[in-house]
Structure 1
Amino acid sequence: MKLFLDCEFTQLNRDTKLISLALVSEAGHEYYVELTDTYLVGDCSDFVIQNVLPQLNLAAHGQTLVEAQTSLLAFLSHLEVPLEICSDAPEWDWDFFCQLAYVNHRWPANVANRPTNLIVLFRHLEADDIDNVTLPELPHHALLDARLLADLYRRLTAVSHRGTERG
């Protein structure tokens, strides 16, 4: 089963810190967390301060890093089939996922230990198929973005399957 991953983080540099992380499965299962102890507002770029932080709801979704590790592993453990983590920005999101998933030198047994790059996956679909799909502007909210990626994947693979049925 594919899980669509999206993260929000403080800025686009090597010292970036995780703000929020979301996973949405092909079947519609969702995991979302906002971290309370991994960053300070001063760590954030102006873009993040203006576009990401105002969307957070720490009262509803806030967890410490240790709590987030526990809740993520519990979420993953309830999904028994082999899990494939898919991201449109694995060069950023994968390390953050690993921070939460790799605990006590153990990797979740039901999770592939490398990400799938959605951009590469989407390119494998026929060019005609992607023309029929409007690419949304991502709202810079991890859960909403992960939902959009999952929906886009569903729509593109549905179009691709219809194309192979016709051929």
Structure 2
Amino acid sequence: MRLFLDCEFTRLSAAAKLISLALVAEDGREFYVELLDSWREEDCSDFVVEVVLPQLWGGSNAQPIIKARSALFDFLASFDEVLEIVTDAPQYDWELFIELVYDDGKWPRNVRNYPTDATTLDATSDGVPLPHHALLDARIIASMFTESNPKKG
């Protein structure tokens, strides 16, 4: 099963800090979380402050990193098959995914430990411009590689 990953983070640099993370599965299941305690506005580039931060949903989506990690593990464990994580930005999104999911030497048993670069796959559509919101972007990326991608709210 492919899961399409997208992240929003503080800046395009090695010092990037995770703001939000989304996964959209081929079967339409979704995971979305915004981190409360892993970044500060001062860490963010002007672009992130102007475009990304205003789009955050907050509410129950916003969680401390420990709760977010647990919720991510639970989501990944809900799949019986081996999971292939697909991202269009492995140099950022995959690294930030690892930071959230890898904890105290534990890796989810059903997740491959390397990403698939979406830019190397044959897309079934061109998609639309990404709005820079992790879940909305992950949905668009997923729709580019699946024949039909049911959306769950």
TM-score, normalization: structure 2? 0.92
Task: Tell me, yes or no, if structure 1 residue 150 matches structure 2 residue 142.
Answer: yes
Cα distance between partner residues in 2 of 1:64 and 1:80: 27
For this pair of structures, how many residues does the alignment match? 148
Mapping for residues 20-39 of structure 1, pairs under 5 Å: 20-39=20-39
What is the letter of the counterpart of residue 78 of structure 2? H
Once the two structures are TM-superposed, the CA of residue 103 in structure 1 deviates from its matched residue by: 1.5
Once the two structures are TM-superposed, the CA of residue 155 in structure 1 deviates from its matched residue by: 4.2
Once the two structures are TM-superposed, the CA of residue 134 in structure 1 deviates from its matched residue by: 3.6
Bigger RCO (CA 8 Å, 6+ sep):
2
Once the two structures are TM-superposed, the CA of residue 57 in structure 1 deviates from its matched residue by: 1.9
Q: Equivalent residue for 1:159?
A: none
Mapping for residues 109-148 of structure 1, pairs under 5 Å: 109-122=109-122, 133-148=125-140
Q: Equivalent residue for 1:108?
A: 108
Cα distance between partner residues in 2 of 1:134 and 1:79: 28
TM-score, normalization: structure 1? 0.85
5+ residue gaps, structure 2, are 149-153
Task: Tell me, yes or no, if structure 1 residue 81 matches structure 2 residue 73.
Answer: no
CA RMSD between the two structures:
1.4
- Which ranges of 4 or more aligned residues in structure 1 deviate by more than 6 Å? none
Higher mean Cα deviation, 47-56 or 133-142?
A: 133-142
Once the two structures are TM-superposed, the CA of residue 135 in structure 1 deviates from its matched residue by: 3.3
On the 8 A contact 1:5/1:21 being kept in 2, the answer is: yes
Structure in which a larger fraction of residues adopt helix? 1
Q: Equivalent residue for 2:13?
A: 13
On the 8 A contact 1:84/1:111 being kept in 2, the answer is: yes
What is the letter of the counterpart of residue 140 of structure 2? L
Identity of aligned residues (%): 49
5+ residue gaps, structure 1, are 157-167
On the 8 A contact 1:32/1:143 being kept in 2, the answer is: yes
Cα distance between partner residues in 1 of 2:127 and 2:106: 37
Task: Tell me, yes or no, if structure 1 residue 62 matches structure 2 residue 62.
Answer: yes
SS at match of 1:12: coil
On the 8 A contact 1:36/1:58 being kept in 2, the answer is: no
On the 8 A contact 1:85/1:115 being kept in 2, the answer is: yes
Once the two structures are TM-superposed, the CA of residue 58 in structure 1 deviates from its matched residue by: 1.8
